[in-house]
A = this chain, B = another copy of it.
Amino acid sequence: MKHLLISLFLLMSFGVSAQKSTVSSFHVVPLGVKGGIDESNLSAYLVAPSGTNDYICLDAGTIYAGLEKAIANKVFRGSVSEIQKQYIKGYFISHAHLDHVSGLIITSPDDTAKTVYAMPRCMKMLQEYYFNGEAWANFGDEGKGFLLKKYHFKTLAPREKMGIDNTAMQVTAFPLSHVNPFESTAFLVESNGSYILYLGDTGPDEVEKSNQLNLLWQAIAPLIKTNSLKGIFIEVSFPNDQADSKLFGHLTPRWLMKEMNVLAGLTGRGSLKKCPIIITHVKPPATRIAQLKKELIIGNELGLHFIFPTQAKAFQL
């Protein structure tokens, strides 16, 4: 009887985490999936450990319009305001271009206290150009103007793992090159031994004259080999006919595949095929997006598992 009670206790105590590691790791709700032009559908991805409502928001181009659609799609129950206030525990901004941060700024008056994470240069731009008490009220706790201190501005050191406030997740930031010397960020998010990798805008190493992607691939290759990395969110902004001189720090299907070949060289093809590749930041018009998707599928020599996210349609990783 005593043994049975101990067993029951252990089962109750560890049931949730056991379920987490075996069923799925992350719940994803894209609030915006496009790389520009359409204010109602710009880069923003909610990610939470499966079975929780502890979401972080990776980039924040569109918040309100995405949440409104997600509620209409029955992904969430409640008002936009309730979901944003209660479920979004923090924002991770890859870089300070407005299509990645507009939603955060516009919705900030109606938001609750939480943390905004960014690497140093991006954080400086958020404080200099947007939350500066003039272009917008400074809802943060650093920078210019009157500090409203709704948001805690937490600056991330590169390659240093840290806990994410009010969640059980951790994050590690990696610098990316986005029109060298301008920087963007990749966020490696861990939940209970499982990971997802989210890349902000980035050009290919060869065009950027950089090794940031190569360094990133080396850092995450071990997680792919152990099947711990559950997904890579990476941008493909233009179809292949975009000239290298007009990439503006972005990828095409051909350049993505080149980078994926570098990664496959580190992980082996078999491992990489098991890791979903979520294609972000597709740039309108729709005809160009259709073209780049077609090129990705046709050019998929590695047999990768592509996911083309849709605004306000949830998926599991």
What residues of chain A have their CB less than 8 Å away from a CB belonging to chain B?
36-40, 42, 62-65, 68, 79, 81, 96-99, 102-103, 105-107, 109-110, 125, 128-130, 132, 134-136, 182, 284-285
Contact = CB atoms under 8 A, between A and B. Distances in A.
Contacts of A97: 135-136
B107 A98 contact: no
Contacts of A98: 102, 105-106, 130, 135-136
A295 B188 CA distance: 50
A284 B96 contact: no
A81 B285 contact: yes
Contact of A129 (B64, B81, B106, B132): B132
Q: How many copies does the complex hold?
A: 2
Contacts of A284: 110
14 contacts: A36-B106, A37-B106, A38-B65, A39-B62, A39-B64, A39-B103, A39-B106, A40-B62, A40-B64, A98-B106, A102-B102, A110-B284, A125-B134, A128-B129
Nearest to A287: B79
Contacts of A130: 98, 129, 135
A38 B109 contact: no
Q: A-B pairs with the 4 shortest C-beta distances?
A: A40-B40, A40-B65, A129-B129, A129-B135
